[in-house]
Amino acid sequence: MTSPNPPAAPAAKRSLRERVDLERIGLALAAPVLAVLLSLIIAGTLLAVSGRDPFDAFSIMWNYGTASDGQVATLNKAIVYYLAAAAAAFGFRMNLFNIGIEGQYKLAMLFAAYVGSQIDLPAFVQIPLLLVVAMCVGGLWASIAGLLKVYRGVSEVISTIMLNAIAVALIGVLLVPGVLAPKTSGTTNSIQTGKISESSRFFSFETQGGTLWGFLVIAVLVGVVFHFTLNRTRFGFDLRATGRSESAAGASGVNVKRMVITSIVVSGALAGLVGLPELMQNTPYFGQNVQSGLGFIGISVALLGRNTPIGIAFSALLFAFLDASGAQLPTRGDYPAEIIPVIQGTIVICVVVAYELVRRYGLKRQQQKVGAELAAQAAAAAQKEVAA
């Protein structure tokens, strides 16, 4: 008597094939790859028109980016970009456009630097304290936009842009000698907070290519929690449902107002972490060392990564590679450093176009599949009628 188990194997193979849809994966990868290729073509054309060799420029970038010191520099930059992109992506998944990451991380970095310079606890207490302070400041500042949207109908785009300007002005008011800066903090052109304590310094990894920031661990944890929260919790389901349709989510029992406020607060809390790698691993004070534009880079990285933790990781590495390797162009050849912002900007523009082209192609393919299935069903029904 034969066993009934062998015939079940093809079904298992079919189910595995159904779970791994290669065409769907290919379409998901097509848009960002197409955007990057188009941006490189545009940048290369600009270099060629200006009388420079684009292949030599790209060769300089590739050689530095693949060297050990270039890899460490790329990873350190990617940590910051990933955190900024995660903050933007969390809002995007809720259909909220948090443009205020810039102001949120600067304010959070300022208060974290002040607390770190005034308190000196053991490292296992001090480091979490600074993380909590930064996240609370970023979340509270972002909550203003959430409250305005929920109770006054103010667009979060307008309010967060205005809050960026207010944050910069507020930093100017607070970062003065005798308030958040020491009374003897130097000249008026270089006012800064006191240095954070040694217990506030985050650990790092010494590699052949230099010092790799230990904040990489925090970035990985943020990505894991991001993915788990969105895809494995009731809160994540409610967030995605509300982002797709507030009316439908409200009809199913979701408190839309609470979801809006919670989502933008979490986005602001993640933004509060953006400035900490620089503060706790490189420059131990807040002052002129603050890098501007990280919030807008985060938005670009999130768009290219399609607001998914894994996609954002690859996107952050790409942008970090361009910045780290592009800094070598003026020193190793007669190339303008401005070509890197051109590449990054064209990537953002091209990715929007590429996503739309891929979406239309995917929709056309889906319609063709449905049509083929309907035709096959009709043919089978006709054969049955003939046989009857």
Count of residues making up the chain: 388
Q: Which residue has the tokens 């600009």?
A: 46
What is the residue-level pLDDT of the chain in tens, covering all 388 positions? Answer: 444 555 544 444 455 455 556 777 777 777 788 888 888 888 889 888 888 888 998 999 999 999 999 999 999 999 999 999 999 999 998 889 999 999 999 999 999 999 999 999 999 999 999 999 999 999 999 999 999 999 999 999 999 999 999 999 999 999 988 888 887 655 556 788 999 999 999 999 999 989 999 999 999 999 999 999 988 999 888 888 888 888 888 888 888 899 999 999 999 999 999 999 999 999 999 987 788 889 999 999 998 888 899 999 999 999 999 999 988 888 887 788 888 888 888 888 888 787 778 778 878 878 888 888 888 888 888 888 777 6
282 and 340 both lie in a single domain: no
224 and 362 both lie in a single domain: no
Burial label, 199 (beta-carbon count in 10 A; 0-12, 13-18, 19+): middle
Number of domains in the chain: 2
Q: Residue 3's pLDDT is what?
A: 47
The secondary structure of 166-227 as a DSSP string is: HHHHHHHHHSSBTTTB-TT---TTS--PPPPPGGGPPPEEEETTEEEETTHHHHHHHHHHHH
| CATH number of the domain encompassing residue 296 | 1.10.3470
Burial label, 43 (beta-carbon count in 10 A; 0-12, 13-18, 19+): buried
Instruction: Give domain status of residue 174, yes or no.
Output: yes
Residue span of the structural domain in which 368 resides: 24-52+335-379
Quick one: how far is CA 56 from the chain centroid? Answer: 30
Report yes or no: 83 and 322 within 8 Å, Cβ to Cβ.
no
98 and 246 both lie in a single domain: yes
159 and 199 both lie in a single domain: yes
pTM of the model: 0.87
40 and 140 both lie in a single domain: no
109 and 34 both lie in a single domain: no
Instruction: Give domain status of residue 3, yes or no.
Output: no
